[in-house]
């Protein structure tokens, strides 16, 4: 009940935050140089035709009117019409957000798992060769550009070894997967389409590995540092001196305490991962949210940019909310 | 080091429950990985390299199309290429052979889905006669009403077709009339030698009966429906479209005209990264790579199982100078830059020698091309002399190019380096698409690299788009009164010899005023698997997939 009240309070606090994001995005995207209308008209279009196109997208209205229309649309779930494609932005967003979230959530989950297991394992072997090895690997993972890493994994995993499918899409189209959520793994599970599930898993392997390698380093270092702190703490030393069993020591004293910082950091990493998908989606022909948002920005497709920034903001605040709740569960000292 | 070593009350057994679980987990992971690899059989390289089958061609493109609605789409080369193959176009170019390459013949526009398209005596009224019994995928017959509805829609859209129709004197829906079920007339405000080529671009037809089912009061032209649903009735029908990933085209067996599709099925997959297209072509997972850059193409020339089709192209690469912006408002400064540019170096270093030098702003292979049109070559002394004639010894300017274009960047660096030697200091400015479009519209870029091809192979069209007052591609702000007169006259001149006389004078004027530095015409290179044949080079840049065959 206490947590439910906390969540409700935090969700209410989101309203002004998101309103700020809406206003800032609306203004900033229009301050940027660049004319979205001219990017969609043919070379022979006259000023009259450009004016007609502006009217079609409501860009001939005063700025305050455009903003009120946008705000009104938001309240009814209408995110506007893409200037580039002429499609409803909400529909385009729904098609692309599933694949990207699937990629990011899986990658962050894999990264968290590796960080927890590797970080604690490494801390328990501090300053030994295995520990140094883990730290060097983390450093390398943190240093390589995701674009380069992706290409290398494609070269090795697909081209040289032939273990993974060609980097052209998210599932083999011949499996006739019926899209429901846009996240192929979930859709395949929901429709009990075994071949599609296996194919989606195969297509996910390399991009998830790339993203997980890129984001795992800070998580791993954080868990290792926390675990070392716990291992050096008086409480842990006392518990160990009392002859508690190893499993109890690890689960009751080490793991829980070492993970206290992890939720907040994982939330931050989640944001980084969403940013990294722009390049990873390009390398793996993923056609998800990242490429869509980038194209929207490059062509000043106002409704697309507004919707994508708003979605990222919503993701951020929700992920931090979840992180705070998990933090509170892990650390009884935290009052919510 | 208290606390850093594991300790417990009792030693674990040799094979604990945990160990069994761990081993099981590892086994499951390995099984899953194996399953993934084997499950990807249709994609993986083990059994995915069978080469092209006679019935299916696999083509990689760089992006998924932004919309299926041709009237409202933005500039999207993949979409426009697909439209050319899935919309029924009433007329299209024929095919001719030049230097061993098969290319679209812009001087021979022929009826395809239509039976005929012919003018009256004074060439102001053009009559389109449709074939009978041609159907869309819905089963609806293609009739004059579909043509009329489609052209009304184009005028209402006030975008792509409406803009281009103006050049042949078609500005109102009333100029398109239905004579009977299979006859439509287009009444132009004036006769034009461009009519056939303009209509080859514009005469695509929607299934209006189907469209009307999806129209609403708020959306009378069913724009929302067409944005998401592929048109039918072209050389190919869209059998399946998986958003962002793949489009499967099936040959339209009902097509009644010449040159039907040679391949039953074409699978178009979206592979944005050129490096991945190259890998998949090498592995045999795709047969045609439509998005590979010059550098990868050069490497692929020596790859087993792959061949590079090379064809003469009408793409022009140029540097446009703003004749109304200092320092390029001085013709001697423009001549100085024209002499400072390393033409051969660009052709050799940027294009690997795979480009044609050109001596006119009129493209090579265009009727009327004359070598006197651009009397400039790399000559630093002449460049310094021209600067001196302009009364300056040092000038500076920005040189703008598209931010995502590696080729333009390489050209910019070479030009910057050579221009500096004669006293022209250039600041390289890459711009994103929207900013570039806005600045081009405002015509405030002093110097910019441009690349493109004219969709209509005619000097009148070239003038209309690039060299007369108000022309949208006239980023140079170039206006010459005599050229304006020639352009006006050309609208109603239909005799080829008379037109060529006009074009010669056009090139003399452009040679004197030098609003552009014309760099070269790069050849079109297409890497394909060895079994692929039949490529016809499109002079409008939009591949006609019907000619492609999966067998050599």
- Of all residues in chain B, what percent carry a pLDDT higher than 70? 90
- Chain A: residue whose CA lies nearest to B8: A246
The Cβ-side half-sphere exposure at B461, using a 13 Å CA radius, reads 23
- Inter-chain CB proximity B67 and A85 less than 8 Å: yes
Of B280, B435, B440, the CB nearest to A166: B280
Cα separation of A270 and A275, whole Å? 9
Peptide bond into B327 cis (omega under 30): yes
Check residue A1 and give its pLDDT: 67
Cα separation of B133 and B256, whole Å? 9
Tokens of residue B540, six digits:
């409008």
**Is the dihedral angle over the CA atoms A308, A311, A317, A318 positive or is it negative?**
negative
Q: What is the mean pLDDT of residues B43-51?
A: 40
- Give the pLDDT band of residue B22 (cuts 50, 70, 90): very low
Give me the sheet containing B114-119, strands edge to edge. Answer: B114-119, B125-130, B183-187, B176-180
Task: Spell out the alpha helix ranges (H) of B370-427.
Answer: 380-389, 406-421
Check residue A134 and give its pLDDT: 86
Across the A:B interface, residue pairs with CB atoms under 8 Å apart total: 240
Tokens of residue A63, six digits:
């700025």
Q: Which residue has the tokens 């931010």?
A: B403
Nearest to B404 by CA among B348, B346, B449: B449
Residue B30 exposed, middle or buried by CB count within 10 Å (0-12, 13-18, 19+) = exposed
Q: How far is C-alpha B535 from the geometric centre of its chain's CA atoms? A: 16
Check residue B508 and give its pLDDT: 97
- Chain A: residue whose CA lies nearest to B80: A42
- Chain A: residue whose CA lies nearest to B465: A44
Q: Which residue has the tokens 């398109």?
A: B176
Of A36, A42, A171, the CB nearest to B160: A42
Check residue B371 and give its pLDDT: 93
DSSP state of A250: I
Q: Kindly report the backbone phi and psi dihedral angles of residue A85, in degrees, each rounded to the nearest multiple of 5, phi listed first.
A: -105, -20
Cα separation of A104 and A111, whole Å? 10
- Digit-coded pLDDT (tens) for A189-201: 999 999 999 999 9
Mean pLDDT of chain A: 86
Over 50: is that where the pLDDT of B1 sits? no
- Give the pLDDT band of residue A101 (cuts 50, 70, 90): very high
Over 60: is that where the pLDDT of A294 sits? yes
- Chain B: residue whose CA lies nearest to A182: B243
Measured between alpha carbons, how far is residue B43 from residues A106, A165, A176, B245, B270 in Å? Answer: 22, 5, 15, 13, 14
Interface test with A, best of B19, B31, B34, B43 (most A CBs within 10 A): B43
Cα separation of B33 and A18, whole Å? 42
Long-range contacts from B148-152, C-beta under 8 angstroms, 24+ separation? B148/B176, B148/B177, B148/B178, B148/B184, B149/B206, B149/B208, B149/B211, B150/B204, B150/B205, B150/B206, B150/B208, B151/B176, B152/B176
Check residue A335 and give its pLDDT: 67
Q: Which residue has the tokens 């960080």?
A: A115
Over 70: is that where the pLDDT of B28 sits? no
With contacts defined as CB-CB under 8 Å, which chain B residues touch A49? 158-159, 162-163
Q: How far is C-alpha B389 from the geometric centre of its chain's CA atoms? A: 40
- Chain A: residue whose CA lies nearest to B432: A298
Cβ atoms of residues B490 and B502 within 8 Å? yes
Cα separation of A68 and A74, whole Å? 10
Check residue B483 and give its pLDDT: 96
Cβ atoms of residues A254 and A231 within 8 Å? yes
Identify the H or E element spanning B186: strand B183-187
Over 70: is that where the pLDDT of B65 sits? yes
Cα separation of A277 and A147, whole Å? 10
Task: Spell out the alpha helix ranges (H) of chain A.
Answer: 2-31, 47-56, 63-75, 89-123, 129-143, 146-153, 184-190, 194-232, 234-241, 246-248, 256-258, 262-283, 289-298, 302-330
Mean pLDDT of chain B: 86
Give me the sheet containing B355-356, strands edge to edge. Answer: B355-356, B516-522, B316-321, B447-452, B395-402, B424-431
DSSP per-residue codes, B432-499? -HHHHHHHHHHT--SEEEEEE--SS-SHHHHIIIIISTT-TT-TT----HHHHHHHHHHTT---HHHH
With contacts defined as CB-CB under 8 Å, which chain B residues touch A45? 159, 163, 472
- Give the pLDDT band of residue B50 (cuts 50, 70, 90): very low
Task: Annotate B240-266 with b (16+ C-beta within 10 A) or e (fewer).
Answer: ebbbbbbbbbbbbeebebebebbbbbb
Tokens of residue B256, six digits:
């009644």
- Inter-chain CB proximity A169 and B244 less than 8 Å: yes
Check residue B49 and give its pLDDT: 41
Tokens of residue B463, six digits:
């003038």
Nearest to B505 by CA among B377, B375, B368: B368
DSSP state of A6: H
Query: Residue A255: CB partners within 8 Å, gap ≥ 6?
Result: A116, A120
**Shortest CA gap B185–chain A (Å):** 24
Of B40, B435, B473, the CB nearest to A164: B40
Cα separation of B34 and B526, whole Å? 36
- Give the pLDDT band of residue A330 (cuts 50, 70, 90): confident
Q: What is the mean pLDDT of residues B145-149?
A: 97
Q: Hey, what's the torsion of the CAs at A192, A198, A204, A208, to 10 degrees?
A: 100
Cα separation of A169 and A158, whole Å? 14
- Digit-coded pLDDT (tens) for B154-203: 998 877 788 789 889 999 999 999 999 999 999 999 999 899 999 998 99
Strand partners, B430: B401
**Angle value at C-alpha A223, between A220 and A228, nearest 5 degrees:** 125
Check residue A332 and give its pLDDT: 72
- Inter-chain CB proximity A36 and B434 less than 8 Å: yes
- Digit-coded pLDDT (tens) for A282-291: 889 888 888 8
Over 80: is that where the pLDDT of B17 sits? no
Residue B206 exposed, middle or buried by CB count within 10 Å (0-12, 13-18, 19+) = buried
Strand partners, B101: B98
Tokens of residue B323, six digits:
């004749």
The 3-class secondary structure across B48-70, one letter per residue, is: CCCCCECCEEEEEECCCCCCCCC
Residue A16: other Cβ atoms inside 10 A: 9
Identify the H or E element spanning B80: helix B77-86
With contacts defined as CB-CB under 8 Å, which chain B residues touch A58? none
- Give the pLDDT band of residue B29 (cuts 50, 70, 90): very low
Of A88, A154, A195, the CB nearest to B276: A154
Angle between helices A302-330 and A262-283 (to 10 degrees): 150
- Is 0.90 exceeded by the ipTM? no
Strand ranges (E), B337-402: 355-356, 395-402
Over 70: is that where the pLDDT of B265 sits? yes
Q: Which range, A129-138, A141-150, B103-112, B415-424, has the best average confidence (pLDDT)?
A: B415-424
- Inter-chain CB proximity A282 and B273 less than 8 Å: yes
Measured between alpha carbons, how far is residue B122 from residues B114, B115, B191, B337 in Å? Answer: 22, 21, 7, 46
Measured between alpha carbons, how far is residue B343 from residues A52, A275, B298, B340, B357 in Å? Answer: 42, 41, 20, 9, 8
Cα separation of B215 and B199, whole Å? 26
The better pLDDT of the pair A101, B298 is held by: A101
Over 50: is that where the pLDDT of B315 sits? yes
Of A41, A169, A243, the CB nearest to B269: A169
Angle between helices A194-232 and B17-39 (to 10 degrees): 140
- Inter-chain CB proximity A48 and B164 less than 8 Å: no
Cα separation of B187 and B540, whole Å? 26
Over 80: is that where the pLDDT of B489 sits? yes
- Of all residues in chain B, what percent carry a pLDDT higher than 90? 62
Task: Spell out the alpha helix ranges (H) of B203-308.
Answer: 208-214, 223-228, 274-283, 294-300
Of B7, B227, B246, the CB nearest to A87: B227
Q: Which range, A4-8, A329-333, B164-168, B197-201, has the best average confidence (pLDDT)?
A: B197-201
Q: What is the mean pLDDT of residues B396-417?
A: 93
**Shortest CA gap B155–chain A (Å):** 10
Cα separation of A257 and A241, whole Å? 18
**Angle value at C-alpha B95, between B92 and B101, nearest 5 degrees:** 140
- Give the pLDDT band of residue A333 (cuts 50, 70, 90): confident
Cα separation of A180 and A192, whole Å? 12
- Digit-coded pLDDT (tens) for B349-404: 998 888 999 999 999 989 999 999 999 999 999 999 999 999 998 999 999 999 87
With contacts defined as CB-CB under 8 Å, which chain B residues touch A249? 7-8
Strand B101-111 and strand B114-119: the pairing is unpaired
With contacts defined as CB-CB under 8 Å, which chain A residues touch B73? 40, 85-86
- Digit-coded pLDDT (tens) for B291-309: 887 778 888 888 889 999 8
Q: What is the mean pLDDT of residues B252-257?
A: 88
Cα separation of B343 and B414, whole Å? 10
């Amino acid at each position: 009940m206490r947590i439910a009240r906390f969540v409700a309070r935090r969700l209410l606090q989101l309203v002004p935050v998101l309103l700020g994001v809406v206003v800032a995005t609306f203004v900033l995207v229009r301050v940027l140089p660049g004319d979205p209308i001219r990017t969609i008209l043919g070379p022979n279009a006259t000023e009259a035709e450009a004016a007609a196109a502006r009217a079609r997208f409501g860009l001939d209205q005063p700025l305050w009117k455009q903003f009120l229309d946008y705000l009104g649309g938001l309240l009814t779930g209408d995110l506007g019409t893409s200037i580039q494609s002429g499609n409803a932005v909400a529909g385009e967003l729904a098609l692309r957000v599933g694949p990207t979230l699937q990629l990011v959530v899986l990658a962050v989950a894999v990264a968290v798992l590796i960080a927890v297991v590797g970080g604690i394992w490494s801390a328990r072997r501090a300053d030994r060769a295995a520990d140094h090895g883990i730290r060097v690997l983390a450093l390398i993972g943190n240093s390589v550009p995701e674009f380069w890493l992706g290409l290398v994994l494609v070269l090795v995993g697909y081209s040289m070894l032939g273990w993974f499918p060609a980097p052209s899409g998210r599932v083999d189209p011949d499996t006739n997967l019926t899209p429901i959520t846009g996240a192929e793994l979930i859709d395949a599970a929901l429709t009990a389409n075994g071949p599609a599930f296996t194919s989606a898993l195969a297509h996910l392997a390399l991009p998830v590995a790339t993203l997980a390698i890129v984001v795992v380093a800070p998580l791993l270092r954080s868990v290792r540092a926390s675990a070392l702190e716990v291992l050096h703490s008086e409480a842990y030393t006392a518990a160990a001196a009392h002859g508690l069993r190893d499993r109890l020591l690890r689960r009751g004293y080490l793991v829980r305490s070492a993970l206290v910082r992890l939720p907040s950091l994982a939330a931050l990493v989640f944001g980084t991962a969403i940013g990294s998908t722009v390049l990873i989606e390009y390398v793996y022909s993923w056609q998800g949210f990242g490429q869509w948002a980038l194209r929207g920005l490059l062509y000043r497709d106002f409704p697309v940019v507004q919707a994508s920034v708003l979605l990222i903001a919503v993701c951020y605040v929700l992920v931090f909310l979840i992180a705070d709740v998990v933090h509170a569960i892990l650390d009884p000292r935290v009052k919510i | 080091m208290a606390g850093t070593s594991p300790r417990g009350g009792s030693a674990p057994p040799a094979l604990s429950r945990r160990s069994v679980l761990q081993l099981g987990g590892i086994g499951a992971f390995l099984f899953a990985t194996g399953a993934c690899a084997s499950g990807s059989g249709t994609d993986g390289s083990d059994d995915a390299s069978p080469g092209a089958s006679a019935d299916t061609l696999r083509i990689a493109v760089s992006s998924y199309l932004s919309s299926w609605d041709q009237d409202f789409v933005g500039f999207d080369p993949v979409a426009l290429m697909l439209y050319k193959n899935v919309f029924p176009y009433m007329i299209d170019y024929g095919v001719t052979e030049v230097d061993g390459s098969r290319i679209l013949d812009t001087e021979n526009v022929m009826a395809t889905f239509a039976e005929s398209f012919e003018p009256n005596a004074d060439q102001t009224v053009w009559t389109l006669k449709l074939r009978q019994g041609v159907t869309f995928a819905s089963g609806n017959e293609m009739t004059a009403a579909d043509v009329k509805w489609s052209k009304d829609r184009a005028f209402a859209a006030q975008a792509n077709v409406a803009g281009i129709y103006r050049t042949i004197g078609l500005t109102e829906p009333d100029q398109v009339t239905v004579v009977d079920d299979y006859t439509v007339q287009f009444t132009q405000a004036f006769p034009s030698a461009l009519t056939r080529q303009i209509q080859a671009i514009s005469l695509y037809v929607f299934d209006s009966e189907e469209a009307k089912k999806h129209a609403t009061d708020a959306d009378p032209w069913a724009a929302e429906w067409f944005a998401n649903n592929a048109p039918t009735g072209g050389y190919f029908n869209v059998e399946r479209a998986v958003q962002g990933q793949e489009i499967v085209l099936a040959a339209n067996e009902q097509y009644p005209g010449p040159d039907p599709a040679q391949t039953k099925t074409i699978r178009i997959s979206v592979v944005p990264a050129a490096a991945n297209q190259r890998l998949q072509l090498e592995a045999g997972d795709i047969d045609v790579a439509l998005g590979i850059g010059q550098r990868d193409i050069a490497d692929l020339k020596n790859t087993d199982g792959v061949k590079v089709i090379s064809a003469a192209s009408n793409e022009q690469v140029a540097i446009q100078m703003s004749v109304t912006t200092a320092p390029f408002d001085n013709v001697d400064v423009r001549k100085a830059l024209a002499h400072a540019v390393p033409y051969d170096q660009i052709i050799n270093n940027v294009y690997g020698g795979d480009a044609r030098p050109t001596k006119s702003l009129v493209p090579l292979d265009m009727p009327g091309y004359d070598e006197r049109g651009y009397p400039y070559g790399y000559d630093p002394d002449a460049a310094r002399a021209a600067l001196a004639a302009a009364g300056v010894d040092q000038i500076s300017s920005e040189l703008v190019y598209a931010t995502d274009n590696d080729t333009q960047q390489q050209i910019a660096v070479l030009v910057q380096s050579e221009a500096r030697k004669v006293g022209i200091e250039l600041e390289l400015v890459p711009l994103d698409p929207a900013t570039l479009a806005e600045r081009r519209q405002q015509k405030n870029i002093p110097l910019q690299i441009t690349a493109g091809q004219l969709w209509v192979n005619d000097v009148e069209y070239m003038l209309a788009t690039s060299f007369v007052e108000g022309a949208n591609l006239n980023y140079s702000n170039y206006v010459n009164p005599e050229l304006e007169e020639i352009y006006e006259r050309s609208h109603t001149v239909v005799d080829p010899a008379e037109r060529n006389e006009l074009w010669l004078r056009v090139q003399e004027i452009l040679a004197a005023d030098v609003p552009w530095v014309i760099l070269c015409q790069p050849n079109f290179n297409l890497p394909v698997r060895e079994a692929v044949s039949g490529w016809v080079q499109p002079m409008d840049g939009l591949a006609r997939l019907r000619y492609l065959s999966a067998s050599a």
